[in-house]
């Protein structure tokens, strides 16, 4: 059985000309993009990034999770994605620029992602889920070309996913508070024991500041992402999958310096983001497997019916 082809749109980072390509895997898309854009002919690999935010796409499973007609920017070796390319948005996207930029119309973009593949629910951030939940049912049903009854079921499902993430955040917060209390208790007991063994000895003050704090942290993360990482007790549940990937791929030392943390805390956040991203991708694969199995079962009664007629 031939692999399913995914339609995509690619262009160079410094150009307006775009090409529509169809590929069954990420490697095939790279090859076709290189030929269409005349790059990579010298044997050097090209890099594909999402035109929306510059997320590097180098994982086959992640590529399969992206919706149809996703926009990519192809970069030759040594080139880097620049957010300035968003200035070409009016010619790059099919929607009007004022509609894309409007926060009130963001739900339409999210609805189109779900219309292409419902498993994209797993890859959405909590903010995206809440946007779709707040949309009037009639408007969302019209955009999805579904009945209001099915749309209500969809919004209920979105609410359940949002509630589950909130429960996970609260559980993690309680666990962190408990572990912090145990740590403080151990510190108090150790200080008491040390003071009793050497009452005239002054305790040394340990500098917990990061040695690289004076070095400017070069990161690809925005101030908004830093705010989420600092303020949220479980930031990995508040970020969409593309942002999670950015955090995971960031240099740990640079991330720690930018946030004013020690390296261990930055590593812990990156590990949590990586685990959440893997969990979402596994859920997407499970949904695809269940969907394929369901389609196979639906085809069985038709075959049984034909065989019964032949027996008669």
In the chain, where the domains are located:
1-97, 102-196, 223-290
Quote the pLDDT of residue 187. Answer: 76
Query: What number of CA atoms fall less than 13 Å from residue 271's CA on the CB side?
Result: 6
Residues with Cβ within 8 Å of residue 10, at least 6 apart in sequence: 18, 19, 21, 29, 33, 36, 37, 48, 71, 72, 73, 74
Q: What is the mean pLDDT of the chain?
A: 77
Q: 1-97 with 223-290: one CATH topology?
A: no
Residue ranges of alpha helices (H) inside 135-262 are: 137-144, 148-197, 223-231, 241-249, 252-259
Helix axes 148-197, 137-144, angle to 10 degrees: 110
Residue 59 parent element (H or E)? none
Tens of pLDDT, residues 261-275: 999 998 999 999 999
Quote the pLDDT of residue 88. Answer: 43
CATH class of 1-97: alpha beta
Structure tokens, 284: 């997407």
Tens of pLDDT, residues 2-13: 668 889 999 987
| CA angle centred on 20, ends 99 and 26, rounded to 5° | 105
pTM score of the predicted model: 0.37
CATH class of 223-290: mainly alpha
The residue with tokens 């419902």 is 118
Going by C-alpha positions, the residue among 292, 284, 217 that lies closest to residue 257 is 217
End-to-end CA distance of the chain: 33
């Amino acid at each position: 059985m031939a692999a399913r082809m995914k339609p995509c749109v690619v262009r160079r980072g410094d150009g307006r000309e775009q090409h529509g390509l169809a590929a069954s895997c990420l490697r095939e898309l790279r090859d076709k993009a290189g030929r269409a854009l005349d790059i990579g002919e010298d044997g050097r690999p090209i890099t594909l990034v999402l035109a929306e935010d510059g997320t590097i796409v180098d994982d086959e499973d992640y590529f399969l999770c992206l919706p149809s007609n996703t926009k990519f920017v192809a970069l030759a070796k040594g080139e880097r994605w620049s957010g300035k390319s968003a200035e070409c948005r009016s010619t790059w996207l099919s929607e009007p620029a004022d509609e894309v930029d409007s926060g009130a119309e963001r739900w339409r973009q999210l609805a189109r992602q779900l219309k292409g593949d419902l498993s994209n629910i797993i890859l959405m951030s909590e903010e995206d889920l809440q946007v779709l939940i707040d949309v009037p049912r009639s408007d969302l049903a019209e955009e999805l070309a579904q009945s209001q009854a099915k749309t209500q079921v969809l919004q209920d499902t979105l609410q359940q996913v949002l509630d589950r993430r909130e429960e996970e955040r609260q559980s993690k917060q309680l666990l962190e508070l408990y572990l912090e209390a145990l740590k403080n208790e151990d510190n108090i007991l150790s200080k008491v024991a040390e003071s009793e063994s050497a009452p005239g000895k002054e305790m040394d003050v340990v500098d917990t500041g990061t040695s690289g704090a004076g070095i400017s942290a070069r990161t690809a993360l925005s101030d908004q992402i830093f705010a989420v990482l600092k303020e949220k007790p479980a930031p990995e549940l508040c970020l969409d999958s593309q942002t999670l990937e950015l955090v995971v791929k960031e240099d740990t030392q640079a991330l720690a310096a930018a946030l004013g943390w020690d390296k261990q805390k930055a590593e812990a956040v990156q590990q949590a983001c990586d685990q959440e991203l893997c969990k979402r991708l596994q859920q997407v694969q499970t949904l695809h497997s269940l969907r394929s199995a369901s389609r196979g079962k639906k085809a069985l009664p038709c075959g049984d019916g034909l065989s019964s007629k032949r027996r008669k």
